[in-house]
Amino acid sequence: MVLPMTKVEEGLRGPESASARSMLDVHLDSWLREFGPRGSEKVDADSVEHLLDLLEQRYPRLRFKIRDETGHLRRYVRVFVDGDDVSGTTGVTTSLRGARTIDILHSIAGG
């Protein structure tokens, strides 16, 4: 018996099995790259939350660097979808339908 794949497993399959939508090009800033992909990453996800689930599964050291324990974006993390900052508006619930690039930036506070 073959069980259906979860959304996380579907997103990890890669570009050859992606649905009709195009793969997202994900970029992390230099601090986050210490815990995740060193360059850009191609991901098939339908929301920011799904995207972060996939990244955390691929790169477990990213867990709790972008989202807090409740699953919300950390206040010092900014997520840009095609150049638009969604961190303070729709956050993790943002749909990625039609999106092409995602930039995730970790701001540094200090004084």
| CATH number of domain containing 59 | 3.10.20.30
Type of residue numbered 68? D
Per residue of the chain (111 residues), what is the pLDDT tens digit?
Answer: 444 455 555 555 544 444 456 799 999 999 999 999 999 999 999 999 999 999 999 999 999 999 999 999 999 999 999 999 999 899 999 999 999 999 999 987 665
pLDDT score at 108: 75
**Cα–Cα distance for residue pair 50/7, rounded to 1 Å:** 8
Does residue 111 sit within a domain? no
Location of structure tokens 């996800």: 45
Domain count, the chain: 1
DSSP, res 22: P
- Of 48, 55, 47, nearest to 12 by C-alpha is 55
**Cα–Cα distance for residue pair 8/6, rounded to 1 Å:** 5
pLDDT score at 85: 96
pLDDT score at 6: 54
Report which secondary-structure segment, H or E, holds 61: none
Domain limits at 30? 20-106
Does residue 15 sit within a domain? no
Give this prediction's pTM.
0.79
